[in-house]
Amino acid sequence: MAKLIDVAKLAGVSASTVSRVAAGSEKISKETTQRVLEAMKELNYHPNAIAKSLANKMTTKIIGLLFPADSSAVLHNQFFIDVLVGISNCAQEYGYYIMNAYEKEDNNYSAIQKMNKSGWVDGIILTTVRENDENLRYVRTRGIAHSIIGTPHIKSSALWVDNDNKEVMYRLTQKMIKKGYKRIAFISGSMEYIYNENRLAGYRKALRESKIRYDKKVIKETDGTFEGGSRAMKGLNEGMSIDCVITTDDVIAFGAIHSMKKMGKLYPITGFNNTPMCEYSSPKLTSVDICAEQLGYNACMMLIDKLEKNNKKNVKLHKVDTVIVERESTK
């Protein structure tokens, strides 16, 4: 690999001159510049980025992206895919690279440690936060630049983006009520996740507003899987009088539909996340588009902004809109 000094020798100048030409300085005469450029071409010179960054105390322009589970689990989840798409787009736009890291269950927050200690990343995006999140604490206590997808429990000065889960579920429920439904079942994923809690809250708010009694019997908490949805629906079908179903996840909804078809009774139903399958299923599923791509994009942009402006004028775009996409399943 040819280096700076080789080019300098060939062009008959000093290393500094070559460096300046490479940097595009106007202090160098046209003739010299020309000669240096030719030497570069002849030797097929490519600057060594590592040496460059060291000399510049430069940053790597690499952003670390920490996922909350192993690669298989994460990448088979449409939400994270969309987030990744958004982040990738933003990064590409601003000339950054993305380096993925996946957290394994066993060794808690070692992925983030490795990523940080390796020294390659300028900042880190966290894609999930739990209560008392170790990763979040890690980056906070070390002053590592970061942004978060999700709502941190302690807001402080962190950069984060999220949907308004309560609000959209409120609107969705309201919509179903307006259509004339009164016994609206609610099948959720685990309530350990704050977003499911919020969604339930939105549902309750809509009921309250329309003076419909909140009935625990038609509220089912599941593990968020197809089978979970299927089972929950079976439970609801047994003796419960309902006229419509709201779920917190498309997959749950598909499970429920599966169950309903078997029972021969198809209630109107809604999903959540607006996965591609909504289009292919029968009936096509009404769902909520949480614009995960936008979440990713914003999180990335906020971080880049922070890295480059060094905190001067932080972009803060906390809330990302949601869109209710109506399809056959509620018509």
Partner DNA sequence: AAGAGCAATGCAAGCGGTTGCACTAGACGA
Partner DNA sequence: TCGTCTAGTGCAACCGCTTGCATTGCTCTT
Length of the chain: 331
Residue 280 interacting partner from DNA, a copy of itself, none (CB closer than 5 to 8 Å by kind)? a copy of itself
Q: Which 49-78 residues touch DNA, going by CB under 7 A?
A: 51-52, 54-57
Contacts of 208 (CB under 8 A, 6+ apart): 214
Task: Determine the size of the site formed for a copy of itself (CB under 8 A).
Answer: 47
The answer to the question of residue 48 lying near DNA (CB under 7 A) is: yes
Residue 272: which of 285, 258, 288, 259 has the closest Cα?
288
Q: Is the dihedral of CA 80, 86, 89, 92 positive or negative?
A: negative
Cβ atoms of 86 and 102 within 8 Å: the answer is no
Residue 15 interacting partner from DNA, a copy of itself, none (CB closer than 5 to 8 Å by kind)? DNA
Beta strands in 86-166 (DSSP E): 97-102, 123-126, 146-149, 159-163
Residue 177 interacting partner from a copy of itself, DNA, none (CB closer than 5 to 8 Å by kind)? none
The answer to the question of residue 300 lying near a copy of itself (CB under 8 A) is: no
Residue 94 interacting partner from a copy of itself, DNA, none (CB closer than 5 to 8 Å by kind)? none
Q: Which 31-70 residues touch a copy of itself, going by CB under 8 A?
A: 44, 46-54, 60-62, 70
The answer to the question of residue 7 lying near a copy of itself (CB under 8 A) is: no
Helix (H) or strand (E) holding 111: helix 110-118
In terms of CB distance, is 42 or 192 closer to a copy of itself? 42
The answer to the question of residue 81 lying near DNA (CB under 7 A) is: no
The answer to the question of residue 230 lying near a copy of itself (CB under 8 A) is: no
Among residues 25, 41, 42, 76, the one that binds a copy of itself under rule CB under 8 A: 76
Hey, what are 80's tokens?
């994270």
Residue 327: which of 289, 284, 288, 290 has the closest Cα?
284
In terms of CB distance, is 48 or 314 closer to DNA? 48
Task: Determine the size of the site formed for DNA (CB under 7 A).
Answer: 29
CB of 275 to DNA, least distance (A): 46
The answer to the question of residue 43 lying near DNA (CB under 7 A) is: no
Cβ atoms of 301 and 307 within 8 Å: the answer is no
Hey, what are 19's tokens?
């460096």
Q: How far apart are CA 29 and CA 27, in angstroms?
A: 7
Q: Which 253-292 residues touch a copy of itself, going by CB under 8 A?
A: 254, 261, 276-277, 280-282
CB of 3 to DNA, least distance (A): 3
In terms of CB distance, is 16 or 108 closer to DNA? 16
Contacts of 16 (CB under 8 A, 6+ apart): none
Q: How far apart are CA 142 and CA 98, in angstroms?
A: 21
Hey, what are 77's tokens?
């989840």
Contact residues: DNA, CB under 7 A: 1, 3-5, 12-17, 19-20, 22-23, 26-29, 31-32, 45, 47-48, 51-52, 54-57
